[in-house]
Amino acid sequence: MLAERYSAVRSVTTALTAPLSEEDCVVQSMPDASPAKWHLAHTTWFFETFVLARANPSYRPYHPQFAFLFNSYYEAVGERHPRAERGLLTRPRLSEVRRYREHVDGRMNDLLAHDSPRKELTDAVTLGLHHEQQHQELILTDIQHAFSKNPMRHAYRDPGKAPRRGGAMAPSLGWVTFPEGLTSVGHEAASSTFAFDNEQPRHRVFVEAFSLGNRLVTNSDYLEFMLDRGYARPELWLSDGWAACVANRWDAPFYWEDPRRTQGQRNVFTLRGVHPLDPAAPVCHVSYYEADAYARWAGARLPTESEWEIAAEKVPCAGNLAEEDRLEPVACGPLSPEDPPAQLFGDVWEWTQSPYTPYPGCVPCAGEFGEYNGKFMCNQMVLRGGSCATTRTHVRATYRNFFPPEARWQFSGIRLARST
Amino acid sequence: MLAERYSAVRSVTTALTAPLSEEDCVVQSMPDASPAKWHLAHTTWFFETFVLARANPSYRPYHPQFAFLFNSYYEAVGERHPRAERGLLTRPRLSEVRRYREHVDGRMNDLLAHDSPRKELTDAVTLGLHHEQQHQELILTDIQHAFSKNPMRHAYRDPGKAPRRGGAMAPSLGWVTFPEGLTSVGHEAASSTFAFDNEQPRHRVFVEAFSLGNRLVTNSDYLEFMLDRGYARPELWLSDGWAACVANRWDAPFYWEDPRRTQGQRNVFTLRGVHPLDPAAPVCHVSYYEADAYARWAGARLPTESEWEIAAEKVPCAGNLAEEDRLEPVACGPLSPEDPPAQLFGDVWEWTQSPYTPYPGCVPCAGEFGEYNGKFMCNQMVLRGGSCATTRTHVRATYRNFFPPEARWQFSGIRLARST
Amino acid sequence: MLAERYSAVRSVTTALTAPLSEEDCVVQSMPDASPAKWHLAHTTWFFETFVLARANPSYRPYHPQFAFLFNSYYEAVGERHPRAERGLLTRPRLSEVRRYREHVDGRMNDLLAHDSPRKELTDAVTLGLHHEQQHQELILTDIQHAFSKNPMRHAYRDPGKAPRRGGAMAPSLGWVTFPEGLTSVGHEAASSTFAFDNEQPRHRVFVEAFSLGNRLVTNSDYLEFMLDRGYARPELWLSDGWAACVANRWDAPFYWEDPRRTQGQRNVFTLRGVHPLDPAAPVCHVSYYEADAYARWAGARLPTESEWEIAAEKVPCAGNLAEEDRLEPVACGPLSPEDPPAQLFGDVWEWTQSPYTPYPGCVPCAGEFGEYNGKFMCNQMVLRGGSCATTRTHVRATYRNFFPPEARWQFSGIRLARST
Amino acid sequence: MLAERYSAVRSVTTALTAPLSEEDCVVQSMPDASPAKWHLAHTTWFFETFVLARANPSYRPYHPQFAFLFNSYYEAVGERHPRAERGLLTRPRLSEVRRYREHVDGRMNDLLAHDSPRKELTDAVTLGLHHEQQHQELILTDIQHAFSKNPMRHAYRDPGKAPRRGGAMAPSLGWVTFPEGLTSVGHEAASSTFAFDNEQPRHRVFVEAFSLGNRLVTNSDYLEFMLDRGYARPELWLSDGWAACVANRWDAPFYWEDPRRTQGQRNVFTLRGVHPLDPAAPVCHVSYYEADAYARWAGARLPTESEWEIAAEKVPCAGNLAEEDRLEPVACGPLSPEDPPAQLFGDVWEWTQSPYTPYPGCVPCAGEFGEYNGKFMCNQMVLRGGSCATTRTHVRATYRNFFPPEARWQFSGIRLARST
């Protein structure tokens, strides 16, 4: 069973890199991003280090330098190659990294098929698979960023197959209301399903009455903000946000192409190439600062993560997400009146107004895994709900994603909230 | 009555700058700090702009360029001199700025004494006085920073009068426990006392049972952390904190002098000059990152701001704070067994683990004052309790101070908490 | 005799700082500039260190920390305060630095009046006086820079006394030709007059025939270059120059005010305040890159330093220079047909196309003075002829000034040359 | 004849990239370096733009975006991809760039074989071939830099074939003297051989008597400088050089590995992998600043470019250079007593003390080629003599190479000179 999950998840990673050339796999277009080859190797190093080497003390690593090259941030495991120089690693070649994956997969299959690994190891495998799913989404967001820096604007995936397109209007925005109350959020420890340590423990919170927008903010909505000079009015922005807006000369979401180069036509660059902006699709690739400014302009605010979770527990975990066996969406589709109201999963990660902090009574994992989540609990904002680049099996109502407030290269969008 | 408060508060500012030379008043030692002369002028500009000009539409500003020079960050009020270049303003001279203060004080006294100003104006005056008190503390922290950059290590105030000194040991650390419960925090709107918009509204929170350290962490405590290689162990630090520690080569709190230059003697630079470290005094001038790392090392954590406030509501607002008519403390005194247990006010601002975010249902002030607090609600951590540089009349249990997690030049220290 | 020179030169420095307030004297507006107080102290430290302490081994410095604070760049003399932090030195106060000057002047007068100092010391005194004259010009250029950063645009000197003004046209540009030949340049060692080590030895050079413009390039000339889009045409610029132009958004000489803020009126900021651009005055405050681009646009080139010196040896060292006992010029006057043709001294330093390198057979001064000039012989361009801020007694035909090619805050202008 | 040269030179480029993988060819390890794929494409774009498009006005470029991607710095030819982002161009793929080369080679062969191109075109072809040879050396220096950033330390070429190795001692250093005199340097315009515009015109210079070291400075010589604390003594360095030394923590030539990681063994990283330092080989990969400091320490100086050229005109253009049909050297061999005295070509480029400036009467090429050399004549130092990575057919006595004084990734070394 775990062996099957292992194969399924690892295959998705391979499938995601299939459209990439050797050259595509080696570049790093900014320090925040990593090369696809590095993602392939790092996720493999994770299993080698935290499963194979623990299961068998005499396990000899595939290559003595890979631990140095492919450790991401585990201080407890030793020194690392500088993050900003991952794109210089032309060696080992992609073919060698693929052999590394096969080698580790073979050993992992042996372990999972024939042995009865102890719980500590199966837990590490499960964590490793969720870890790999996180990197699957990063492979997509990082390569989109790399391709965007190239005037050739190469399409990662066949442009013809973009999700249901059309001039259809999105439904008008409505509000779903929730009463005040003392309730619980977070992952129930007794549950049999997986959750990261940062989703635990389940704990009580008092939440005032609130309303949530019944759909995401669309490109059409966002264009109104832009037409109303949203990017030129400091009173709409957080102070740090305005500084970022000015310093980076933001005047539209990331990946929106300059319409002055295309006779006023608004195009966006996506993993399916450059195509005209779909007004009915959710706005995507906005920073927290832009989401916050938009909400203020709209007379609303962003939800807290508790509010979002209270709402999400009531709806199915479904939407414009990737399926392991199909992997279709890597773009936001247009919203349509047929969508279930307040569908909270898929399309774009939704910025919340909650900084990423530990839950009350939170106990980080022991050992190296204690570094997995806890040490990032500063200067980051929580996002919820998964995106069109997230695998459906990876997300859930309690899932806490997090990025710095200026990050724009993720599939991040906006849902409004209001105090009532 | 308000006229008397006006005079009292304004006099404190004048008294605080009395020990400074013209040259001392003009320098800016880093972009985060401001020259004393600028503080003198900016607080005056506040009353001129938000009180005098509103009270009398034909009011003619003292100088046509002062609004440009001395506006801090009010986008709604117009363009401003660049923050990082405040230290280049040799003109207007200090004497001219003092005349500007006298001019505005004269008009303010007229307004407050003879007219019956409408509530909007008296509210603005009250806000302006609390604003001035904030700048009073900044005058002290900013000049300490400036003097610290000068090898002459000039003492702001007579070294002989440091608060109760001695080799006395601090009492050993104990814990005060608090039960779980649904309770309220924040400022009650119906109250007759002043509070900033960011302290409102009073609202319900559910808090798990917790304990709070019954005294601040001392220099002696902190030296143990240092001896245990606290500045060399990444596993104790937040990821951003470790990066800051490495990049800035932190190896002790700010203003601790390098003992290798003094035959191993640990000295600290204070507003009263350089003197030996007092082991019984609270550790001061640590960043949030250091406070957080210390707490992790000590097997504890920092309190949330709700926890802190629940505890503080039960104790008097007293401690090692400045008095308007004496102004003595500008250094932490040694803790002593005679101190009341869990005295939460004075000596040092206490870092909480709470990012600075809006309270549920928070409504920012209307107009320009909406910029006072709200736009800084990102990338900052809340501190509570006031310091030896805070005037006693300025602080209260609900007061929320905030600084970025790397800030060290404020009088910031550590109180521990635990989940129980 | 030397005692009289000492008093005369030192008095000029005092006179130059007379119009400055204490606050003016402490600021440093960029790392390349220094505070006036620092100039006052550093020139004094020079005599204390290189004359008084050498003359009398038991000489006790005026203050034990001044050597650390006021050493500029003499590695041989020990550690130094960081250059970029000179503006933070509010202590010692200006009054204390003036006492320091008086103290050292007293000792120097004793030495020069009563003793018969050995040649090594009188040589050091002479060097120190020329050194002080260099700093006199820097006091002016540095304070102009500081005042320019302040929107109050304070005038250093009475605006009413600007040099002969008027709408007079400059004479039209003519050329003076010089034949090819093997000739000598540099300072003759046997001469009784002073020269720096970098002007020596006098040596032979072969120079092709050339012509030199018979007057400086004027503001009017330069405006034609600007109207012809000189700042927008990369083909006119050196590669590094174009990069500097783009990065710094240069579109006019330094200190030219933006005419969009004054209804199209072209104003310049000078030490005599803001006034309308005089078309007949030499263009001033241009970088080497701008001078070079202008020359290319004009179908000419800049002279080499040998060419300039060959021409200058034939004309008197006179022009719009400062006189020790009057100190009038600190601005360029308009050129007029009455000027002697090809007056090469005064008004502005003239950029040459010669990088600053050692003369053949150059031997740097022994000891600490070896650091005076030689170690800067890289990445700098030679300027010749003195400016309106240079004292007439300080400049001569062989004098080599040098600044990096992007420097603009000096009184630097343009003379054209041509190969014939 | 020109067709044969074209094929010969183009083949060398192909041969040089043969050992590189697709991934190796795409990376850019610093802004000063370029990816091998970019070099392959840029040199091809040169012929397409400056020969094919001029020969046939209806020539249609191979790809409409390649002019944007592969223009290096020709402002006259239009906008360009940012230099620092050349390493992000995963598309076009290497295979596509190879097809581009083949396409252009086909058209060039047609032009050169069948037509009788006019002189302007054959001149452009000749320039293009020398241009390509410059990029051949850069392909080597840039890939060495890229490999050096990878802990795998991949060897570009078979380590077994390093040039004549051994413990042999270099001959002791002697001096060759040259008399003073008026002489000529530079390329004779009437000559039938090729030279760049920056080598012209041949012109008279007066040179004082001088001596030149009869061999290059060796690793053994340089180690003495290091043992004598050469990297810790500011008095040996130019001011900018010392700043670079401190800022970059230089303590040895570039590519020398830290001996603390190898039990004190001094290793160097070369294109043939890591191997022990050969004491008899010329020191390589030093900046101008290091060369200058070494010379000062050695009681000598660097030669001027005139001095070097006077000496070089008397010796054959031979040495440890690459041959078009063998390409062997890419490392410095040990010097040996059998070497001809004062062999000035090969092994390493020799830093001169001459800044890169135009020769008297220099006329840059007309049109776009005017940008080839002239606009770099600032902030660069001249190097002479070619290196082990230079093709023998590319270098000559009048050849002026140039790099900024801090550059270390070229094959740059030291020859001493003295005034006599």
Portion of chain A with pLDDT greater than 70, in percent? 96
Q: Please, are residues D409 and D291 in contact by the beta-carbon 8 Å criterion?
A: no
- At B280 the pLDDT is 92
C-alpha separations of D107 from C350, D5, D44 in Å: 51, 15, 11
* Of the candidates D418, D391, D417, D396, the residue with the CA atom closest to the CA atom of residue D138: D391
Categorize the per-residue pLDDT at A163 as very low, low, confident or very high, splitting at 50, 70 and 90: low
Categorize the per-residue pLDDT at B252 as very low, low, confident or very high, splitting at 50, 70 and 90: very high
CB contact under 8 A, C65 and B151: yes
- At D77 the pLDDT is 78
DSSP state of D194: -
C157 C-beta neighbours (distance < 10 Å), count: 18
Distance CA C336, CA C170 (A): 5
The most confident of the ranges A200-204, B154-158, C328-332 is A200-204
> pLDDT tens across B193-223, in order?
999 999 999 999 999 999 999 999 999 999 9
C vs D contact (3+ beta-carbon pairs below 8 A) = yes
D vs B contact (3+ beta-carbon pairs below 8 A) = no
Q: Is the whole model's pTM more than 0.80, yes or no?
A: yes
Write the DSSP assignment of C274-295 as a string of letters.
Answer: EEE--TTSBP-S--HHHHHHHH
CB contact under 8 A, B88 and C146: yes
> pLDDT tens across C17-59, in order?
999 999 999 999 999 999 999 999 999 999 999 999 999 999 9
Tokens of B293: 């790392």
CB contact under 8 A, D377 and C419: no
A230 phi-psi bin (left φ>0, alpha ψ -120 to 50, beta other)? alpha
Is the ipTM value over 0.85, yes or no? yes
Distance CA D142, CA D24 (A): 11
Q: Which residues of A touch B (CB under 8 A)?
A: 73, 75-76, 182, 203-208, 234-235, 237-242, 288-289, 292, 304, 353-355, 357-358, 360-361, 370-371, 375-379, 405, 419
How many angstroms separate the CA of residue B44 from the nearest CA in chain A?
A: 23
CB contact under 8 A, D235 and C182: no
- At C218 the pLDDT is 95
Selecting from D23, D85, D90 the residue whose C-beta is nearest the C-beta of A90 gives D23
* Of the candidates A196, A207, A407, A415, the residue with the CA atom closest to the CA atom of residue A319: A415
C-alpha separations of C70 from B207, C66, C100 in Å: 58, 6, 12
A187 C-beta neighbours (distance < 10 Å), count: 22
Categorize the per-residue pLDDT at B164 as very low, low, confident or very high, splitting at 50, 70 and 90: low
C-alpha separations of D202 from B300, D216, D358, D363, D370 in Å: 79, 27, 12, 12, 19
Q: Please, are residues B384 and B360 in contact by the beta-carbon 8 Å criterion?
A: no
Residue A119, phi then psi, degrees to nearest 5 = -55, -40
CB contact under 8 A, B150 and C91: yes
DSSP reduced 3-state for A307: helix
D276-279 CB contacts, 8 Å cutoff, 24+ apart: D277/D219, D278/D165, D278/D219, D278/D332, D278/D334, D279/D167, D279/D169, D279/D170, D279/D218, D279/D219, D279/D220, D279/D223, D279/D334
> pLDDT tens across D151-203, in order?
999 999 887 655 554 456 788 999 999 999 999 999 998 898 999 999 999 99
Coarse DSSP helix, strand, coil percentages of chain C, rounded to the nearest 5 percent? 40, 15, 45
Distance CA A20, CA A16 (A): 8
Q: D230 or A333: which carries more pLDDT confidence? A: D230
Q: D387 or D371: which carries more pLDDT confidence? A: D387
Which residues in chain C touch residue D288, judged by CB atoms under 8 angstroms apart? 378
C-alpha angle D392-D398-D404 in degrees, rounded to nearest 5: 90
Which residues in chain B touch residue A76, judged by CB atoms under 8 angstroms apart? 235
> pLDDT tens across A23-33, in order?
999 999 999 99
How many angstroms separate the CA of residue D316 from the nearest CA in chain C?
A: 28
The most confident of the ranges A130-134, C77-81, C274-278 is A130-134
Distance CA D13, CA D16 (A): 5
- At D75 the pLDDT is 79
Distance CA D268, CA D273 (A): 8
pLDDT at residue D235 tops 90: yes
User: A379: burial class by Cβ within 10 Å (0-12, 13-18, 19+)?
Assistant: buried
> pLDDT tens across B321-335, in order?
988 877 666 677 787
Which residues in chain B touch residue C82, judged by CB atoms under 8 angstroms apart? none
Locate the chain D residue with the closest alpha carbon to C376.
D239
Chain D interface, best mutation among C369, C375, C420, by max D CB count within 10 A: C375
Distance CA C24, CA C36 (A): 8
Distance CA A374, CA B301 (A): 13
CB contact under 8 A, A357 and B355: yes
Locate the chain A residue with the closest alpha carbon to D27.
A88
How many CA atoms lie less than 13 Å away from B145 in the CB half-sphere?
Answer: 22
Categorize the per-residue pLDDT at C167 as very low, low, confident or very high, splitting at 50, 70 and 90: low
Distance CA D215, CA D288 (A): 18
Locate the chain C residue with the closest alpha carbon to B94.
C23
Beta carbon pairs, A and B, within 8 Å: 84
pLDDT at residue A374 tops 90: no
Mean pLDDT (chain C, rounded): 92
Portion of chain D with pLDDT greater than 90, in percent? 80
Q: Which residues contact A419 (CB under 8 A, 6 or more apart)?
A: A208, A209, A210, A301, B360, B361
> pLDDT tens across D351-369, in order?
999 999 999 998 777 778 8
How many angstroms separate the CA of residue A63 from the nearest CA in chain D?
A: 11
Categorize the per-residue pLDDT at A100 as very low, low, confident or very high, splitting at 50, 70 and 90: very high
Element (H, E) at C308: helix C305-312
Mean pLDDT score, C197-210: 96
- At B58 the pLDDT is 95
Residue C88, phi then psi, degrees to nearest 5 = -95, 0
- At A378 the pLDDT is 95
* A175-178 sheet: strands from edge to edge: A175-178, A210-213, A417-419
Selecting from C27, C88, C147 the residue whose C-beta is nearest the C-beta of B150 gives C88
Categorize the per-residue pLDDT at C236 as very low, low, confident or very high, splitting at 50, 70 and 90: very high
The residue written with tokens 């000035």 in the block is D344
- At B406 the pLDDT is 98
Mean pLDDT (chain B, rounded): 92
- At C408 the pLDDT is 98
Q: D76 or D406: which carries more pLDDT confidence? A: D406
pLDDT at residue A165 tops 80: no
Mean pLDDT score, B140-165: 84
Mean pLDDT score, A368-395: 92
Q: Please, are residues A187 and A398 in contact by the beta-carbon 8 Å criterion?
A: yes
Mean pLDDT (chain D, rounded): 93
C203 C-beta neighbours (distance < 10 Å), count: 15
Portion of chain B with pLDDT greater than 70, in percent? 96
Which residues in chain D touch residue A94, judged by CB atoms under 8 angstroms apart? 23
Q: Which of A67-71, A91-95, B71-75, C93-97 has the lowest mean pLDDT?
A: B71-75
- At C163 the pLDDT is 54
Q: Please, are residues C412 and C285 in contact by the beta-carbon 8 Å criterion?
A: yes
Going C232 to C237 to C240 to C244, the CA torsion angle's sign is: negative
- At D161 the pLDDT is 57
Mean pLDDT score, C372-389: 94
pLDDT at residue B271 tops 60: yes
Q: Please, are residues A408 and A253 in contact by the beta-carbon 8 Å criterion?
A: yes
Q: Which of A203-207, B44-48, C78-82, C181-185 has the lowest mean pLDDT?
A: C78-82
Which residues in chain C touch residue B24, judged by CB atoms under 8 angstroms apart? 90-91
The most confident of the ranges A256-270, A315-329, B133-147, D313-327 is B133-147
Do the strands A319-320 and A345-346 form a parallel or antiparallel pair, or are they unpaired?
Answer: parallel
